[in-house]
Amino acid sequence: MARKKLETLRPTIGESVDAYIARGMSRELEHAVEYCPQEGDSLGEYLLRLRLANSLTPEAIEEYLGGFPHDAAITRSELAQLESGYPEFVNEKRLRTLATLYGVSQEWVLQVAEYHVERYTPPIPATDNSFAMLTTRAVPLNSLDPEARQTLQEIFNEIIGAVQVPDSESRDNT
């Protein structure tokens, strides 16, 4: 089953950071449940996965969020460092603006970054995140035609299904 594309929520011209964050908090996010955090996600992996799910480039992120004040603005180089696991540019406003832009719950992103959240969401069981991340970095899927993307998704799902051990089997081996 293919994942639904996330809906990007872009800031409007002249919109304040606080108004943008509030607009993100008021969105209905049932369609984004597939993108809640996975077990073992690092902040960088999670942010990269969300950006790729939105088919956004670092240049687009900088264009949309670069006009905000310094504590919320994000440049391409800062985004690259966030996605690579360097925490220097992590702050709550930046995380909330990224979550709003990506169309996911702000609390999910804060939770992965280990900020206190009111409504904790249990992470979904992990797929092989490292394999998935290597695959998504190696193949720019948005440059492929829809049939090729579907074929690659089916192959990836077969691989994941083959390497995952059902819970009952893993308990029998212990």
Give the domain ranges of the chain.
17-112, 129-165
Q: Which two tokens stand for residue 94?
A: 């930046």
The C-alpha atoms of residue 28 and residue 145 are separated, in whole angstroms, by 30
Residue-by-residue pLDDT tens, the chain, 174 positions: 445 667 788 898 889 999 999 998 887 777 777 888 888 888 999 999 899 888 899 999 999 998 888 888 888 998 998 898 887 878 899 999 999 999 998 998 998 888 877 766 666 665 555 545 555 555 555 666 788 778 877 887 777 777 665 554 544 554
**pTM, rounded to two decimals:** 0.66
CA distance 146 to 141: 9
Rg of the chain in Å (alpha carbons): 17
The CATH number for 17-112, chosen from 1.10.357.10, 1.10.260.40, 3.30.365.10, 3.30.450.40, is: 1.10.260.40
Give the separation between CA 56 and CA 7, rounded to whole angstroms. Answer: 11
CB 81 within 8 A of CB 88: yes
